C-alpha cells in the first residue's frame, strides 16, 4: 500500500467511519486507521437508542458494518493497527504504527474513549472470567444467573436493561445517591421486575478464584445502604463507571481540556495546522452516536477545505 494519503482518520468508531466516508466522497484519498474492530463502542451495543431513522433502535453489529461498507464503497481504505505517534515532517503529518509509517497533510483524530476500570482487587485477575464491559457479548452466557452492573449513568442503566433480558436478576450498584441517567432509562429500570438499583454503594473487591462468584460492597456514609461491608453473589460484573478520552496521541502537542479531551473550533480544527478532532475525544462532545457522526462529517469537510485552500489561516 502506498503510505501517503490526503487524509488519514485515526479511529474506526462512528466518528471515524463517517469522517472517512465523507472525505472519500469528496474525492480525497483517505485511510481509516483503527486499533480494534471497526465500530468502536457502538459495535457492542445491543440497541443503539436515539439514532435518527431507527425509532426502535438498531444493534451496533448491524449499524457498524453498514457504515464500514458505505465508507469502503465511497473509496476509503482501511488499516488495522494502533497509531502510536504523530509528528510533523516536510509539510505532512507522519503517523507511526507497528505495521509501518504513514503520511498525510490532514489528519482527523477520532480516537474516542475507553471505559474506566474500578481499580479494585480481583478486577484484572477476573477480566474475561466474569468481569466485562460488554453486556451484549456476555449476557447470553449468563442466562438465569444473577449479575451486577456498576455505575449510575446512561451506559450502566442501558446495559442493565440488556442484561435483564437474560439474567435472573441485575443489581445496579452506584456510589451516588441517585442515578444520573436519562429519564427514559431511569423509568424503564425502575419498572423492570428483575433490576434493582442500589445507590450509595461501592464495590471494594471482586470475588472468585477462576471465575467471578461475588462482589464485596460497602455502603457509603449518608446513603440508605449504611456503612457496612457485605458480599453479594453474582456470576458477572459489568463496569460502566465513566469514560477516559483516548487523547494520548496529542497529549504533548496541544493543551487538552480539564477532562483530557482535545479542544476544537466549530469546524473541528485543533490548534495544530492540518489536525482535526471528531467524536467523543473532542472537547464538548455531546456523547451521542449521531453527534459523533456529525463531528466526523464536519471534520472531513474542514480537512477537504484545508487541502484546497492555500489561504487557510495559520
Ligand atoms: C455502554 C454504552 C452505551 C451507549 N449507548 C448509546 C446509545 O444508545 N445511543 C447513542 O447515541 N450513543 C450511545 N453511546 C455513546 C456512543 O457509543 C458514542 O457516542 C460513540 O461511540 C462515539 O464514537 P467515536 O467514534 O467518537 O468513539 P469510539 O466509539 O470510542 O471509537 C473510537 C475508536 O478509535 C480507536 N482508537 C483509539 N485510539 C486509537 C489509536 N491510537 N490508533 C487507532 N485507533 C484508535 C478505538 O479502538 C475505537 O475503535 C453509548 C456508549 C456506551 C459506552
Tens digits of residue pLDDT in 128-170: 999 999 998 899 899 999 999 999 999 999 999 999 999 999 9
Looking up cell 440508605, which residue turns up?
224
Nearest CA, atom 39, ligand 1:
111
Q: Of all atoms in ligand 1, which is nearest to the CA of residue 15?
A: 25
Cα-to-centroid distance, 233 and ligand 1 (Å):
31
Tell me if 278 sits within 8 A of 13, measured CB to CB. no
Share of the chain above pLDDT 70, in %: 96
Ligand 1 proximal residues by C-beta, below 6 Å: 10-16, 33-36, 40-42, 45, 48-51, 82-83, 110-113, 155, 158-159, 240, 246, 249, 279-280, 287-290, 292
User: How far is residue 92's CA from residue 86's CA, in Å, rounded to a whole number?
Assistant: 10
> Is 4-115+243-308's fold the same as 131-239's?
yes
Distance 145 CA to ligand 1 centre (A): 29
The span from the CA of 246 to the CA of 44, in Å, is 18
> CB–CB of 86/249 below 8 Å?
yes
pLDDT digits (tens, 9 = 90+) for 58-95: 999 999 999 999 999 999 999 999 999 999 998 899 99
Q: Measuring from atom 26 of ligand 1, which residue has the nearest CA?
A: 279
pLDDT tens track for 233-263: 999 999 999 999 999 999 999 999 999 999 9
Confidence (pLDDT) at 211: 96
- Return the residue whose CA atom lies nearest to atom 50 of ligand 1: 155
Cβ partners under 8 Å of residue 179, min gap 6: 152, 153, 156, 157, 172, 185, 186, 189, 197, 199
CATH code at 4-115+243-308: 3.50.50.60
Question: Closest ligand 1 atom, CA of 16?
Answer: 25
Please state which CATH class domain 131-239 belongs to.
alpha beta
Residue to mutate, 15, 16, 39, 42, ligand 1, most ligand atoms under 8 Å from C-beta: 42
Q: Delimit the domains of the chain by residue range.
A: 4-115+243-308, 131-239
Instruction: Please identify, by atom number, the ligand 1 atom nearest to the C-alpha of residue 17.
Output: 25
Tens digits of residue pLDDT in 181-230 = 999 999 999 999 999 999 999 999 999 999 999 999 999 975 555 668 99
Question: Cβ distance 107 to 92 under 8 Å?
Answer: no
Amino acid at each position: 500500500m502506498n503510505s501517503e494519503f490526503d487524509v488519514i482518520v485515526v479511529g474506526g468508531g462512528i466518528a471515524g467511519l463517517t469522517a472517512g466516508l465523507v472525505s472519500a466522497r469528496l474525492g480525497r484519498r483517505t485511510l481509516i486507521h483503527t486499533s480494534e474492530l471497526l465500530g468502536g463502542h457502538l459495535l457492542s451495543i445491543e440497541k443503539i437508542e436515539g439514532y435518527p431513522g431507527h425509532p426502535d433502535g438498531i444493534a451496533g453489529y448491524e449499524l457498524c458494518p453498514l457504515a464500514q461498507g458505505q465508507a469502503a464503497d465511497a473509496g476509503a481504505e482501511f488499516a488495522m493497527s494502533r497509531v502510536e505517534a504523530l509528528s510533523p515532517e516536510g509539510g505532512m503529518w507522519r503517523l507511526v504504527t507497528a505495521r509501518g509509517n504513514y503520511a498525510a497533510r490532514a489528519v482527523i483524530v477520532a480516537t474516542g474513549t475507553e471505559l474506566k476500570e474500578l481499580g479494585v482487587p480481583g478486577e484484572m485477575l477476573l477480566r474475561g472470567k466474569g468481569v466485562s464491559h460488554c453486556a451484549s457479548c456476555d449476557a447470553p452466557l449468563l442466562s438465569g444467573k444473577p449479575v451486577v452492573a456498576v455505575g449510575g449513568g446512561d451506559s450502566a442503566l442501558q446495559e442493565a436493561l440488556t442484561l435483564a433480558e437474560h439474567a435472573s436478576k441485575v443489581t445496579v450498584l452506584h456510589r451516588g445517591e441517585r442515578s444520573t441517567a436519562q429519564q427514559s432509562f431511569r423509568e424503564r429500570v425502575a419498572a423492570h421486575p428483575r433490576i434493582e438499583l442500589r445507590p450509595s454503594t461501592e464495590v471494594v473487591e471482586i470475588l472468585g478464584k477462576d471465575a467471578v462468584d461475588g462482589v464485596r460492597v460497602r455502603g457509603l456514609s449518608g446513603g440508605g445502604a449504611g456503612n457496612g461491608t457485605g458480599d453479594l453473589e453474582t456470576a458477572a460484573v459489568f463496569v460502566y463507571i465513566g469514560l477516559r478520552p483516548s487523547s494520548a496521541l496529542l497529549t504533548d502537542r496541544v493543551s487538552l481540556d480539564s477532562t483530557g479531551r482535545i479542544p476544537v473550533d466549530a469546524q473541528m480544527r485543533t490548534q495544530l495546522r492540518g489536525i482535526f478532532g471528531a467524536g467523543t475525544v473532542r472537547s464538548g462532545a455531546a456523547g451521542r452516536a449521531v453527534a459523533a457522526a456529525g463531528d466526523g462529517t464536519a471534520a472531513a469537510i474542514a480537512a477537504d477545505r484545508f487541502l484546497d485552500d492555500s489561504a487557510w489561516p495559520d
